[in-house]
Amino acid sequence: MKVTIVGTGYVGLVTGACLAELGNDVLCLDVDSVKIDQLNNGVVPIYEPGLSDVIERNREAGRLRFSTDIPEAVAHGDIQFIAVGTPPDEDGSADLQYVLAAARGIARHMNTFTVIVNKSTVPVGTADKVRDIVMRELAVRGVESQFTVVSNPEFLKEGAAVEDFLRPDRIVIGCDLDVPGLRAKSLLEQLYAPFNRNHQRTLFMDVRSAEFTKYAANAMLATRISFINELANLADRVGADIEQVRQGIGSDPRIGYSFLYAGCGYGGSCFPKDVRALMHTAGEQGMELNILASAEFVNEQQKMVLFDKIRHHFDHSLEGKHFAVWGLAFKPNTDDMRQATSRALIAELLRARATVSVYDPVALDEARRTLADDLDPDSYEGIRFSRDRDATLQGADALVILTEWKEFKSPDFAHMKATLKNTVVFDGRNLYDPVSMKKEGWTYYTIGRDAAKDGIGGGNGPFLP
Ligand code: UDX
C-alpha cells in the first residue's frame, strides 16, 4: 500500500519506518529541509533503539523515502497520516497549528478520494476541525474530492517505540460510518492486517472515542504512578516496603504488577502534556478533573522527594557538598530531557550551593543544552558533565540515581565504596536490594523502601521460617 506521512518527528519517523518494514511504499514529508537531507543521507536525528536499522534497511529496499515536496507527497499516498507535534500552549491546551497546517497542505493538493489519518495526539473534536479546514480549501480550489478523517492515536513508548509499533497490544482506529468512512476502514484493515494474524488487535470505534482513548490511557498511567508514589512516601514513614506492597497488590489481576513502580516522578513529552491537555478540555466543559489535578500535583512534589532526603541526611546544610548524579534522561533508552526529574533536582541542589558531577549514557549532550537553558550561568558552572560514569564518584559526598539505565543495575560496589567520600546512595528508581545494601554498609535511601535502612518493619526482607 502507498502511504504518506506528514511530519518526520518522533511519531512520524517511527510510523513511516515501521510501515515500510511491513512492506508498504512510504513517503515521509517534512517542511524542515535540513532534517530531510539528513534522513536522505542516512542520518537519523533522534535516538531510538533499532530505528536507524529499520530506516536504513527500508531506504535501501526503496520502500522508504523522504521529501519536502508537498504535491509529490500528497499524490503518493492512498492514506495520508498526519504525525506532527501538538506542543502545549501556555494554558496547557494542545496547540493544533501544525496539525491544521498539515491538513491545509493535503487539501491544497489532493485530487482524488483521500483518507486523512490523524496520528498526532489531539483533543476530542480535532477531526472535525481538520474536516472543516479541508472542506474550506477544497471549496476555494473549486475541487469536489471525497475525503474522510480518521483518528488512529499512537501508544509508543520512547526507547521501545519500534518494538511497540511492530508488536502492538491494540490498534485504535476511529472512523465514521458513512461511505467514505467505511472505505477508509477497509483500507486501514488492510494496512494493519499483518498485526491481526493470530489475534484481532484493531479496535474500531467512533472518531471522538478514539481521540479520547489516547488521553484516557496516558491519564490512567500517570495517575497510577502518582498513586504508588504517594503510597511509597507513606510506606517510608510507617516502615513498610513499597516493592513488597506492589507485589502484594499486583497479584490481583484487577490491579496487575506493571506500571506500579515507585520512583522520583514521571516526566517525558507525553504524560505531563496530556494530563494538562485533558484537564484543559474538562475546563472548557465547566468540569474539573480532580483526580488528574492531584496526580499532577503529586508528581511535581515527587520530583523533590529525593532532595528532601538529601537535605535531611546532611542536616540542611548542602553548601560545598558535591554529588555524583547518574541518569539524566526522563527514563532509560532515550536522550529525552523533557520534564525530566534531573532538571528539577539538579537545579535545587545548585540553589542549595552544592555542586554536581553528572553522567548519562546517552543524554549528556541534550542535558548540556537543556540545563544551560534552565539555569543562570553561575549555577550552570556548578555542573561537571562526565562521559566516565565512575569518575563522577571521585570526591562526591553521595551518589544520586535518577534514571534506571541497565548499566546502573550491577555496579562495582567495592569501587564505589573506595571512590565516594561517604557510603551514601540516594536512589530515585529503587535499583538495589535495600537489605543487602544495609548489610554491605551502605546508607541507602530509596522511594518507599527506607525501612531496611532504618532497620525496622517490612524492609528487613521476606519472613523466613
Ligand atoms: C508514555 C506511554 O507509556 C505511551 O503509551 C504513550 O504513547 C506516550 O507516553 P513514554 O512517555 O515514552 O510513554 O514513557 P513511559 O515508559 O510510559 O514512562 C513515563 C514516565 O513514567 C517515566 O518518567 C518513567 O520513569 C515513569 N514511570 C513509569 C514510573 O515512574 N513508574 C512506572 O511504573 C512506570
Predicted ipTM beyond 0.90: yes
Q: Express each pLDDT in 188-220 by its tens digit.
A: 999 999 999 989 999 999 999 999 999 999 999
Q: How far is the CA of 267 from the centre of ligand 1 (A)?
A: 7
CATH topology of domain 2-205: Rossmann fold (3.40.50)
Backbone angles phi, psi at 376, to 5 degrees: -75, 155
84: left (phi over 0), alpha (psi -120 to 50) or beta: beta
Per-residue cell: 393: 564518584
Contacts of 253 (CB under 8 A, 6+ apart): none
Q: How far is the CA of 146 from the centre of ligand 1 (A)?
A: 39
Asked whether the predicted pLDDT for residue 3 surpasses 60, the reply is yes
Q: Is the CB of 155 under 6 A from ligand 1?
A: yes
Summarize the confidence of residues 241-254 as an average pLDDT: 97
Mean pLDDT of the chain: 95
Confidence of residue 457 (pLDDT cuts 50, 70, 90): low
Distances (CA, A) of 159 to 46, 76, 223, 330, 405: 11, 30, 21, 11, 11
Q: Is the CB of 435 under 6 A from ligand 1?
A: no
When comparing pLDDT for 185 and 456, which is higher? 185
Q: Considering only CA atoms, which residue is closest to atom 14 of ligand 1?
A: 157
Q: Express each pLDDT in 267-278 by its tens digit.
A: 998 999 999 999
Nearest to 83, CA basis, from 178, 150, 181, 183: 150
pLDDT the model gives residue 7: 97
**Which atom of ligand 1 has the smallest separation from the CA of 229?**
30
AA identity, residue 162: V
**Percent with pLDDT over 90 in the chain:** 93
| Residue among 47, 48, 157 whose CB has most ligand 1 atoms within 8 A, to mutate | 157
Which residues belong to the active site? Answer: 270
Q: Is the CB of 332 under 6 A from ligand 1?
A: no
Per-residue cell: 23: 512492506
DSSP string, 114-180: EEEEE-S---TTHHHHHHHHHHHHHHHHT----EEEEE----PPTTSHHHHHHS-S-EEEE--SSHH
Asked whether the predicted pLDDT for residue 30 surpasses 70, the reply is yes
What CATH homologous superfamily does 241-460 map to?
NAD(P)-binding Rossmann-like Domain (3.40.50.720)
- The single residue listed with the C-alpha cell 504518506 is 4
Asked whether the predicted pLDDT for residue 78 surpasses 60, the reply is yes
Q: Is 156 annotated as a binding residue?
A: yes
DSSP string, 297-339: HHHHHHTTHHHHHHHHHTTT--TT-EEEEE--SSSTT----TT
Q: Express each pLDDT in 267-314 by its tens digit.
A: 998 999 999 999 999 999 999 999 999 999 999 999 999 999 999 999
Asked whether the predicted pLDDT for residue 465 surpasses 60, the reply is no
Indicate where the chain has its CATH 3.40.50.720 domain(s): 2-205, 241-460
Q: How far is the CA of 195 from the centre of ligand 1 (A)?
A: 24
Contacts of 58 (CB under 8 A, 6+ apart): 17, 20, 21, 26, 64
Q: Is the CB of 225 under 6 A from ligand 1?
A: yes
Q: 50 in helix, strand or coil?
A: coil
**Which atom of ligand 1 has the smallest separation from the CA of 274?**
9
Q: For the chain, how far is it from start to end, CA to CA, in angstroms?
A: 63
pLDDT the model gives residue 315: 96
Q: Distance (Å, rounded) from C-alpha 382 to C-alpha 85?
A: 34
Helix axes 341-351, 305-313, angle to 10 degrees: 30
Q: Is the CB of 215 under 6 A from ligand 1?
A: no
Q: Is 267 annotated as a binding residue?
A: yes
Per-residue cell: 50: 533499532
Q: Distance (Å, rounded) from C-alpha 310 to C-alpha 349?
A: 9
Q: Considering only CA atoms, which residue is closest to atom 15 of ligand 1?
A: 157
Q: Distance (Å, rounded) from C-alpha 329 to C-alpha 350?
A: 18
Pairing between β-strand 64-67 and β-strand 25-29 as defined by DSSP bridges: parallel
| Residue among 122, 171, 224, 266 whose CB has most ligand 1 atoms within 8 A, to mutate | 266
Q: Is the CB of 266 under 6 A from ligand 1?
A: yes
**Percent with pLDDT over 70 in the chain:** 98
Q: Considering only CA atoms, which residue is closest to atom 27 of ligand 1?
A: 266
Alpha-carbon dihedral angle through residues 243, 245, 247, 252, given to the nearest 10 degrees: -150
Nearest to 6, CA basis, from 24, 31, 35, 34: 31
Contacts of 91 (CB under 8 A, 6+ apart): 280
Asked whether the predicted pLDDT for residue 149 surpasses 90, the reply is yes
Q: Is the CB of 261 under 6 A from ligand 1?
A: yes
